[in-house]
Amino acid sequence: MTHWSTRSLALVARQRGIAPTLSHSTVALILQGADLQPHRTRYWKTPTLDDTFRHQAAQVLWCYEQAQRLAHRGEVVLCVDEKPNIQVLQGEHPIRPMRSGRIERREFEYVRRGTVNLLVKLEVHSGLMRCWVLAKNDGACLRAVLPQLLEDHCDARRIHLIWDNGSSHIARQTRDWLSRHAPHVRMLFTPAHASWLNQAELLLRAFTERYLRRAEWASRDDFIDHLDASWPEYNRLFAHPFTWSWTRSKMHAWMDRHRS
C-alpha cells in the first residue's frame, strides 16, 4: 500500500496477528494519542540554509518591512512572477448551472484551445497588480514588456525589483538591459528553492482563485481578453497590501534553529 487509512492499518494488524481484534476506531485513537496522521502528506522545497540564503532573504524581507516608508520617499517595491503554460480549456458540453437543490454540474470532457504564459507585477505597498501575456516564457519576451512594466513608476527615485532565479531573470541580456535603460532599478533575487518569499506568488493564487477557476474559453484570444478585463477589476475590488509577518528577525531565528 502507498496510502494508509485507519481501516487498512487495522486490517493488516489483524492479519499479521499483531492485534487479532483491533478495530479501526481503536487505531484512530492510537494515532490521535501519538499525534500521527498517516493519511496526510505535504510537499515542500528545501532551501540551502547558508549565508547566501540569509543575505538574499534578508534583502527581500527588508523591502517588505520598509515598503510603506520607501513609498513615501518616492521609492517602490515591485514583485514579479510568471505563471507559464496555462491551459485554455473549453468543455465539450455546456455547463449546467445551479438551481434549487442542485449544485453546478460539468462534464469531464474538454477541448484544449492552446496555452498562455502570464506575467504579473505586484506593487507591494498598495497591492495593485498588472499582467501581461508573453508569447514565450523566455528572456526576449520578458525584456519586450519591461518598458511597460516599469512605465507606471517612471517618477520613482528607485525601484526595488523582486523576482526568482528564473533563467529569463538572471540572463546577462536582462541585466544589461536594465543597467542601460533603468539604472535606478535594484534587482533582488529570492534564494534558490525559496520563491515563496516572492509576494507575487500570493497574488497569483488570489487572482487565480477569483478569475481563472471554473471558467471556460472558446479560444486563446477569448482567454487573453478575459485577462485584460480581469486585472483592472481585481485592482478596483480586491487589491490591498498583503499581510506579511515573516520578518528578518524571525527568519534569522528560524535559520539558527534549523542549522543547529
For residue 143, what are the contacts with CB-CB under 8 A and spacing of at least 6?
A: 173, 174, 177
Nearest partner of 255 among 48, 45, 44, 42, judged by Cα: 48
Q: Judging by beta carbons within 10 Å of its beta carbon (0-12, 13-18, 19+), is residue 15 exposed, middle or buried? A: exposed
- Residue-wise pLDDT for 226-246, tens only, equals 999 999 999 999 999 999 999
What pLDDT does 183 receive?
A: 95
CA distance 122 to 104: 33
The pLDDT value recorded for residue 201 is: 96
What's the pLDDT tens digit per position in 95-150?
A: 899 999 999 998 889 999 999 999 999 999 999 999 999 999 999 999 999 999 99
pLDDT at 44: 76
Specify the pLDDT at position 46.
77
Amino acid sitting at position 104: E
Q: Which residue would you say has higher pLDDT here, 43 or 172?
A: 172
CA distances from 232 to 65, 92, 235, 239 (A): 26, 30, 5, 10
Give tens-digit pLDDT for 2-60: 899 999 999 999 999 999 999 999 999 999 999 999 888 887 777 888 999 999 999 99
Structure confidence by residue, pLDDT tens digits, 192-229: 999 999 999 999 999 999 999 988 999 999 999 999 99
Give the pLDDT score at 45: 73
pLDDT at 1 over 90: no
pLDDT tens digits, 64-110: 999 999 999 999 999 999 999 999 999 899 889 999 999 999 888 99
- pLDDT value, residue 39: 87
pTM: 0.85
Grid coordinates representing 114 are 492552446
Residues 188-199 pLDDT 10s: 999 999 999 999
